Structure 1
């Protein structure tokens, strides 16, 4: 070691993987010496990255084991980069700037920030080509980003076949991005935009080994951000693996702009994105859009982020879910948000079940054609399957509103046996009535049903139907998010009424829940009191809804006790001559 470039001792150790090394960094040259006595990992991990190039078996490690079969070095070895030294020791892809630590636990990057920055920039320049045809966004929980970086990998921890296929398509040398997604408040040009979907980019990497049997890929994380970079609007919440193809959205420019932002530090054009049709009605310069309306109504869901993320996971895994809840809990709206959480390109179709809806309407059946002859006609389900098969990379979501108002087991017929997520392949195909061709549901087809639990006329679903769906319950959400939304729509001088409105609605729901003839399935949902437009008079708006919507509903709830329905209605009504009334 030169006297001019002395540094403290650095350590790299793992009892689990069996390595324990000591080294010295040379800031003048950027080189790193692994000192004699160091124990290097003995089992080989193919696909390591060296100087930005993938090799099947690092020659350096082979030479070391030829000379030291037990992996204990009997002399010093000097390498060009800290990462090369770390990978030789650890036997896996690993960032030397973050892995080598002094006795106090400080990383090499923290002790030599200037040299580390120069090294990182030089390393990045060798890794990022001028043209990037595609990359992979790999999701991680915000609280768990350290593990992939420290271990030099990323692991897919679920068993969704469509996502597993994406994982298998990730190849060595592919560029990957470690990130998480959540809503945030965006401040831009003195404007504030709440609840904007945001991608937090934590690290960039290059794949060194494709997925193994444990669904684990090896990654050389060559750029790690101390403060994650933030990308707004265009995102895919709930997707653990997302391929960004430069040409896939070239006409919309979403993918090219995202790739250039990630790898070439091109600033995001916030004004351009917020004025795109999908986001314009909520974040744009004008509330009107001439091109097209947003694919999802821009009304706050009020659903906690972690609960919505769970809904997305269940949809991805089970592929068939049913949202159940009392009237007014936003079931239909949430179905559309869930669909678009699968992909911004998702294809959706809605069908409503009712008592006269049949197998022939939904699957296929004989119908009289224009020539007054019986002919086989494909129903909603088979038609949608045809569409999904033509675009296998695009999720297709069939939304079945009021799924329990018809006879779902009869409507689905033999299709019921193949909607399970484990049977989405040709080998599980069946032959339908009136047909000779095999039929199966493709992996990119999802079913989302809704159920209104307060309808007395609906018979319970049978067990065979139930076990093929995941049931997710929605509840009234008169919470802080709902309050904030109501404040946005009302005048400041009436904001004091919002707490009063919330209290009265919660008291009504308490009375309904405690009624032995009703219960939680009959609660009043927040959608009754979620306005689309600004409110001129909050108390008048509330009283109008109570009189025209809740009063008739409560009279149906208590048909043999109109006095009780009237009493509960009167408790809701707010006097117009007071600012903060009490019941």
Structure 2
């Protein structure tokens, strides 16, 4: 963590909540709140400000953690310490705390919007936490049912008051853990478990801070061996080799800096986030120690500067061969690497490992139909294998087909009847000369995994289209564990398992990437097998109106946005229409064809048996619960304009 980051806030809010819950109630806490936050007002009638008559602990504590300046937040805490007679020191930092949106800070709504029991529910929730009672699904569901309270908000409160117990579920933390947020108790419980499993040595507040650092640094930018700065660094100081501690704690520390000797300070100041650390030692061996050699112990990427001499590092690779007959880095603690056989070897060996920082080994592209999921699997697969991609899709597709023909890419589609025997290995009947025999069949995953194992220099990609349509546990079997990053062959917790029908152990290699696609109109992400969600990084792909252009005077982007907003309002965002249906369409005739041949069948399916809702989505086109025929694309725009005009007129009447 940074030189100024000592997490001074950790005991403060925990003590504050304990004092509030033990010594105050909804009415007696009000004067304390008014003293600290005099500008905060309630509304008993919309727009008419008034003083609070009751307040809850969650809103009280959230107000200290609004998106304010650090100085203001410290001043609020100082006042609270004096009034509440807290023992904890006033925080000097708020590192790791996800700040509340200033417009959505309160848990307790204005009086005119507030339910009769809302304040009581919030107080009970706080008191249960102070009493160390585990959170139940019933409790979480009840508090999430209150207006303007989502899972991110309630978990931010839990994290602030119990920073060693609860992990936040803000976007930084979810991205860091490779999870897609949902407002459910199941997801809350899942995230707490996944965080502990993936980072057992990180406290929740450390993970939150690390997630923020990662999301706000160039750590996720593409890595190329010809553009990143490489540093040779040492791991031996204080009489010991620190490499194992470095790897376990995901850090690198300059030995001189550790004893406050600043001889390396100038070089250390030049290290940038995204640079590559090559931990090595150069020495001699053999008779008379006349034979030089260099031993590379680990290579990692700098993801954060902690102090002037300490860095957070994502270790990429830790297994190398010794390099004989060369020892150019003897006696160094840190220096910038030059072009030499060692750097050349590192770059050649590292290309695959560097890619793993940018491309998750397991990822799923999900979104409504027509948002380009399958399109992007093609470009991603080529980029994973080649390390670069042509901006021209035609060239990318040509390269994709070449790699597929070579066996470096496999493309399959899951369906309800797909099985482990189809995917991995099984027994199939074979008819020869009227005689039936049974042969061992190796499925596409077994085939590409074996190829990847025999060719560790290159990357391989398995694309699974419609991954959510298959029965995951039935298809993957033991693979659901073996595909995990740390369980892959050669990694820290590598595992293998015996295959069905074959008396041999099987493991999944590190150079095999899995890309899945998922149509959310078929199945919400909330319904996806948790085992799958824990092991895959999910990337959302939504409709993009900005990729469309007007067609012959028809405002396609505007109409497209309005259509999807209606669908979102009436169903949800997972059933929107994707932009790819309209890409490349340049005439109204083409748009008309797309609407009647592609879009309308989808809408009819979405609103089957609900013609009144269908008429809201495409206003003016329903008659006797049936779609009018022979309507032009211009009619669509005219109806949209009429709808907007009517809406504006109604709004003006209301304002008048």
TM-score of the pair, normalised by structure 2: 0.41
Give the structure with the higher percent helix: 2
TM-score relative to the length of structure 1: 0.46
Bigger strand share: 1
